[in-house]
């Protein structure tokens, strides 16, 4: 059974940094992508970033480009989201998700098959 576990959330002041981790229990295919999504109170969940296996193609939402960096450690089945220059509007529950067998991956929830439970990120002003 595939399980995704997020960690690294917390409370940080504006301008600060956090690194989120997403550990997958197993990958059942070599063709996959890990995505990060977030959901702020009263808002819909939005795609933040993703990274695909193989060529390591990445995607970033416009709102985080230049501030967030996604990376992977294949030996640990773990994907990281380094978040710098955090803003209060980055406050949300952050989820990682795993998708298989798509032609491409991005910020759409339909690209992903498995979801973690989420980790809270709070940025104070």
Tens of pLDDT, residues 31-43: 899 999 999 999 9
Question: pLDDT category, 28, cuts 50, 70, 90?
Answer: confident
The answer to whether residues 96 and 4 touch, using CB atoms and an 8 Å cutoff, is: yes
- pLDDT tens-digit series, residues 47-69: 999 999 877 899 999 999 999 99
Q: How many other β-carbons are positioned within 10 Å of the β-carbon of residue 112? A: 23
User: What HEC string does the chain produce?
Assistant: CCCEEEECCEEEECCCCEEEEEEECCCCCCCEEEEEEEECCCCCCEEEEEEECCCCCEEECCCCCCCEEEEEEHHHCEEEEEECCCCHHHCEEEEEEEEECCCCCCCCHHHCCEECCCEEEEEEC
Whether 1 shows a pLDDT value over 90: the answer reads no
Calpha distance 123→36 (Å, rounded): 17
């Amino acid at each position: 059974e595939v399980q995704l576990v997020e960690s690294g959330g917390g409370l940080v002041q504006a301008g600060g940094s956090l690194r989120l981790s997403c550990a997958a229990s197993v990958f059942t295919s070599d063709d996959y992508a890990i995505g990060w999504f977030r959901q702020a109170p009263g808002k819909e969940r939005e795609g933040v970033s993703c990274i695909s296996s193989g060529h390591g193609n990445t995607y970033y939402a416009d709102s985080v480009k230049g501030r967030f960096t996604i990376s992977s450690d294949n030996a640990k089945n773990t994907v990281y989201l380094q978040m710098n220059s955090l803003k209060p509007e980055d406050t949300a529950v952050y989820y990682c998700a795993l998708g298989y067998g798509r032609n491409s991956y991005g910020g759409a929830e339909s690209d992903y098959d498995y979801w973690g439970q989420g980790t809270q990120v709070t940025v104070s002003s």
